[in-house]
A and B are shown apart, each in its own frame.
Chain A
Amino acid sequence: MSTLVARMAAAPPRRRAILPGAALAGLALAALAALPVAADAAGLPFLVVIATRMMIFGLAALSLDLVLGYGAMVSFGHAAFIGLGAYAVGILDAHGIRDLAVQAPVAALVCALFALVTGAISLRTRGVYFIMITLAFGQMAYFFMVSLAAYGGDDGLPLAGRSTLFGMRLIEGDPALFYAVLAVLAVALLGLRRVVASRFGRVLRGSRDNAVRMQAIGVSPLPYRLTAYVIAGAIAGLAGVLLANQAEFVSPAYMSWQRSGELIVMVVLGGMGTLIGPVMGAAALIALEEVLAHYSDHWRLGLGLMLVAVVLLSRGGLAGLAAKLGRRA
Chain B
Amino acid sequence: MTPLLSVRALRKSYGALRVTDDVSLDVAAGELHAVIGPNGAGKTTLIHQLSGSLRSDSGTVHLAGEDITALPMVARVRRGLARSFQITSILDGFSVLENVALAVQARSGSSFRFFRPAATETRLNAEAMDALGRVGLADRAARRAGSLSHGEKRQLELAVALATKARLLLLDEPLAGTGPEESAILVGLMRELKSTHTIVLIEHDMEAVFALADRMSVLVYGRVIASGAPAAVRSDPAVRAAYLGEEEAA
| Contact count A vs B, C-beta below 8 Å | 132
B125 close to A6 (CB less than 8 A): yes
A10 close to B119 (CB less than 8 A): yes
Q: How far is the CA of A232 from the CA of B85 in the complex (A)?
A: 34
B141 close to A6 (CB less than 8 A): yes
Q: For residue A10, which residues in chain B have a CB less than 8 angstroms away from its CB?
A: 95, 97-98, 101, 119-120, 125
With A216-B82, A217-B160 as given contacts, are A6 and B122 in contact (CB-CB < 8 Å)?
A: yes
Q: For residue B107, which residues in chain A have a CB less than 8 angstroms away from its CB?
A: 217-218
A9 close to B115 (CB less than 8 A): no
With A13-B142, A197-B118, A200-B111 as given contacts, are A213 and B74 in contact (CB-CB < 8 Å)?
A: no
Q: For residue A220, which residues in chain B have a CB less than 8 angstroms away from its CB?
A: 74
Q: Closest CB-CB distance, A293 to chain B, in whole Å?
A: 39
Q: For residue A12, which residues in chain B have a CB less than 8 angstroms away from its CB?
A: 95, 119
Q: For residue B90, which residues in chain A have a CB less than 8 angstroms away from its CB?
A: 210, 213
Q: For residue B121, which residues in chain A have a CB less than 8 angstroms away from its CB?
A: 199
With A217-B106, A217-B164 as given contacts, are A7 and B95 in contact (CB-CB < 8 Å)?
A: no
Q: For residue A197, which residues in chain B have a CB less than 8 angstroms away from its CB?
A: 117-119
Q: For residue A210, which residues in chain B have a CB less than 8 angstroms away from its CB?
A: 89-91
What band does the interface of chain A fall in when counting residues whose beta carbon is under 8 Å from B?
Answer: 35 or more
Name the CB-closest residue of A to B51.
A216
A219 close to B119 (CB less than 8 A): no
Q: For residue B160, which residues in chain A have a CB less than 8 angstroms away from its CB?
A: 216-217
B111 close to A9 (CB less than 8 A): no
B91 close to A206 (CB less than 8 A): yes
A199 close to B113 (CB less than 8 A): yes
Interface secondary structure of A, over-half rule:
helix
Q: For residue B92, which residues in chain A have a CB less than 8 angstroms away from its CB?
A: 209
Q: For residue B14, which residues in chain A have a CB less than 8 angstroms away from its CB?
A: none
Q: Does B227 contact A (CB under 8 A)?
A: no
Name the CB-closest residue of B to A4.
B122
Q: Closest CB-CB distance, A22 to chain B, in whole Å?
A: 15
Q: How far is the CA of A10 from the CA of B123 in the complex (A)?
A: 12
Q: How far is the CA of A215 from the CA of B160 in the complex (A)?
A: 12
Q: Closest CB-CB distance, B86 to chain A, in whole Å?
A: 12
Q: Does A300 contact B (CB under 8 A)?
A: no
Q: Closest CB-CB distance, B163 to chain A, in whole Å?
A: 8
Q: For residue A5, which residues in chain B have a CB less than 8 angstroms away from its CB?
A: 129, 141
Q: How far is the CA of A194 from the CA of B92 in the complex (A)?
A: 22
B125 close to A3 (CB less than 8 A): yes
Name the CB-closest residue of B to A15.
B119
Q: Does A224 contact B (CB under 8 A)?
A: yes
Q: How far is the CA of A76 from the CA of B188 in the complex (A)?
A: 51
Name the CB-closest residue of B to A14.
B144
Q: Does A227 contact B (CB under 8 A)?
A: yes
Name the CB-closest residue of A to B112.
A200
Residues 230-259 of A at the B interface (beta carbon under 8 Å): none
Q: Does A39 contact B (CB under 8 A)?
A: no
With A2-B129, A209-B91 as given contacts, are A218 and B106 in contact (CB-CB < 8 Å)?
A: yes
A203 close to B142 (CB less than 8 A): no
Q: How far is the CA of A216 from the CA of B101 in the complex (A)?
A: 14
Q: Does B5 contact A (CB under 8 A)?
A: no
Q: Does B50 contact A (CB under 8 A)?
A: no
With A210-B89, A216-B82, A218-B78 as given contacts, are A9 and B141 in contact (CB-CB < 8 Å)?
A: yes
Q: Closest CB-CB distance, B107 to chain A, in whole Å?
A: 6
Q: How far is the CA of A194 from the CA of B101 in the complex (A)?
A: 18
Q: For residue B97, which residues in chain A have a CB less than 8 angstroms away from its CB?
A: 6, 9-10
Q: How far is the CA of A326 from the CA of B178 in the complex (A)?
A: 40
Residues 20-54 of B at the A interface (beta carbon under 8 Å): 51, 53
Q: Does A278 contact B (CB under 8 A)?
A: no
Q: Does B212 contact A (CB under 8 A)?
A: no
Q: For residue A199, which residues in chain B have a CB less than 8 angstroms away from its CB?
A: 105, 109-114, 116, 118, 121
Q: Does A201 contact B (CB under 8 A)?
A: yes
Out of B53, B77, B95, which one reaches A218, CB within 8 Å? B77
A-B pairs, top 7 by smallest CB distance, nearest first, are A6-B125, A218-B77, A10-B119, A9-B142, A9-B141, A217-B103, A199-B113
Question: Could you tell me which B residues sit within 8 Å of A by CB distance?
Answer: 51, 53, 72-74, 77-78, 82-83, 85, 89-98, 101-103, 105-107, 109-122, 125-126, 128-129, 141-142, 144, 160, 163-164
